[in-house]
Amino acid sequence: MPILREYRVLAAKIRQEYVEMAQVFSEYQQATGLHCPKSCARCCSNPDIEATPLEMLPMVMDLLDSNKLTSEFIEAIDQSPLCFAYSMDQNNPLMGQCLQYKNRPSICRMFGVAGYKLKDGSPSVSVCKTLKENYPEEYLKLKNEANNAPLMVKWSTKIRVLDPDLGFKYYQINQAFKLMAQKVMLLNEYEQT
């Protein structure tokens, strides 16, 4: 069984990958001219967002270290099908902010404008609906230059290989968080006794 210190080291490695990932995807988004509108949270309003428990480890460790990771906190996560870290604008459910932005998982860092491979191996781009609607000309140009887009699979794999046991299976984002949080809380409790 891993000890909490090992999870701290693993969380630090994930954070390093997240910094690089955020830089690559941000630079690509800027180069394309496609920018997420201020406070847009259309992607966060999707209850089907998935992540691995491994991707949630930095968030879990920060909450543990700030004494916010409690049983009550974990139980409250089930109150909404949306990501627990999403703070929705009460006037517009497609607007809001992430309360865990610095620790958000890979999909949240890559979503918006990213590359992927079609079944035949040819490059394509994944662009969110809002950006397609707001920047139709840029989107059409981007589709023709898909081979320049950073690949989602490359970056998610860089995280997954850090711990294949925790990074292999995807769950709904709240479930992924809960699985990782429960492991860490159990280890923390064990080490405190």
* Residue 178 and residue 77 in contact, taking contact as beta carbons nearer than 8 Å: yes
Residue type, 63: L
pLDDT surpasses 80 at 1: no
Tell which residue, 119, 100, 96, 118, has the closest CA to residue 109: 100
Tell which residue, 55, 65, 47, has the closest CA to residue 155: 55
Give CA separation, 67 vs 55, 60, 70, 71, 110, in Å.
20, 11, 7, 11, 29
Higher pLDDT, 57 or 139: 57
What is the per-residue pLDDT across 53-73, written as a single tens digit (0 to 9) for each?
Answer: 999 999 999 999 999 999 999
At 95, give phi and psi (nearest 5°): -125, 150
Size of the chain in residues:
193
Distance CA 14, CA 105 (A): 10
Q: What is the pTM of this model?
A: 0.90
What is the per-residue pLDDT across 71-123, written as a single tens digit (0 to 9) for each?
Answer: 999 999 988 899 999 998 888 878 889 999 999 999 998 888 899 999 999 99
Distance CA 142, CA 109 (A): 19
